[in-house]
Structure 1
Amino acid sequence: MNEPVVLERLGAVRRITLNRPDRLNAFDQAMHARLAAALDEVAADPSARALLVVGAGRAFSAGQDLEAVQDERDLGAVLERHWNPLVRRLASFPLPSVAAVHGVAAGAGLAVALACDLVLAARSAKLLLAFARIGLVPDSGASWQLARLVGPARARGLAMLGETLSGEQAASWGLVWQAVEDAALSDQALAVANRFAEGPIAALVATRRLIDEAATGTLIEALARETEAQRAAGQGAEYAEGLAAFLAKRTPNFANLSRHEGTPA
């Protein structure tokens, strides 16, 4: 029996593959458990510097395996047990993350991709929220992500009509970072993850936090948060290396710095 989630080391990048291709990588309880364990392993790995999430087979993920929850009377409890912790974990992961979306990314599967820092989508990918088709509402943070990324009018259309977006249209709407040729998706997503891995990890994670908090805060609050984040960054090893490299007219070598302590590894 195949592992429902596969973890690989690709240099400083850790690639997690959702691996139930016969079910379009729809999640059941075993898949949730294995993914949580894989994320724990990556977070604890001092040599890991970026996370890449992909899907096996013909899809990124079709979201929840409905057959696995057909006897559940409280779908809110399913969210509280599995999906909400997963999305929170990805959105606050200690490493920058990339999702590479091909084929179908539907429902909570799309929400998983959007919880990563950057999403690259194959041009032919099909992104959709099909909750309304079965009498449900968007979950796993999808309503918040859509309203924030594409605006309330488009969010309502996508969620209430269950419309499908191609990867190319999703990029033009700002739902994903970039649409790429199908055959190039794997290589380009890994290249972006490697760029993250070579960068200043603490500064990148702090940047993500500032942008997320800006979605619900005021300019005055953003100025205060930026000031505190910049104060911490300015006292860190990444800035010391970045400044030294700038003055010496060389490329900074952030990869030699520990992402945990901010000191030379």
Structure 2
Amino acid sequence: MTRLSVQAVTKRFGGVTATGDVSFDVPEKGVTAVIGPNGAGKTTLFSLVSGFLTPDQGRILFDGEDIVGMRPDRLAARGLVRTFQLVQLFPDLTTLDNVKVGQHLQTRSGLLAAVLRPGSTRREEAAVSARARELLALVGLLDVADQPAKVLSYGQQRLLEVARALAAGPRLVLLDEPAAGLDAAESKRLAAVIRTIADQGVTVLLIEHDMSLVMNVADRVVVLDFGRKIAEGAPAEVRAHPAVIAAYLGGVEIADG
């Protein structure tokens, strides 16, 4: 089944076509990666899918529903959540609290319950805390749960963003260059996390420049160049595609790490 369908999507900024007639489907199961050189239109595409931009033409379907024009918060409530190239955490909150904040879409207690603190609210708070710790363990950050986010390394902050996105309970998570700033060990951990996310039933769509990570975790790869799709398929197929080799690597075949 198809989780996301991008259909002939075009977005222009003045005379520049950031994405031109781009179409592809993201299967419900597995990991789909979008790659391409700088300026290929990858982040614009993510912004279109996640509601931060509206396409000039085309349709975007999420679980069969046309979501063009829908606000990002409404999309998140429907199960479509994204991370960003630049880290966007609450620096003075603890690592644990950052993940707990990400669960606000999953909680029911309101202001009155927060003041009166009935048993249902206390149980919900305990469940939120337990789930946050599970997610921190998943990304390898449980040992820094009580530290402020601002003292974490950049790589740790990237992993924390992934955990917070998962806290929202998404059906589709968009990861925008999640390996940026990660060292080799953190990148290896991230690859395992992404596969675990997909194995747990969450659809993953990611933009990434780390080709070793992409080729090892992606089930399908979509390649953009100058805003247009030039290839799509399994990693091995894309890696050897002449247009990809020419446009993305200047004639040097992609290594699989």
TM class by shorter-chain length?
Answer: under 0.3
**Structure whose residues are more often strand by fraction:** 2
Please give the TM-score of this superposition, normalised by the length of structure 2: 0.27
Q: RCO (CA 8 Å, sep 6+): is it higher in 1 or 2?
A: 2
**Structure whose residues are more often helix by fraction:** 1
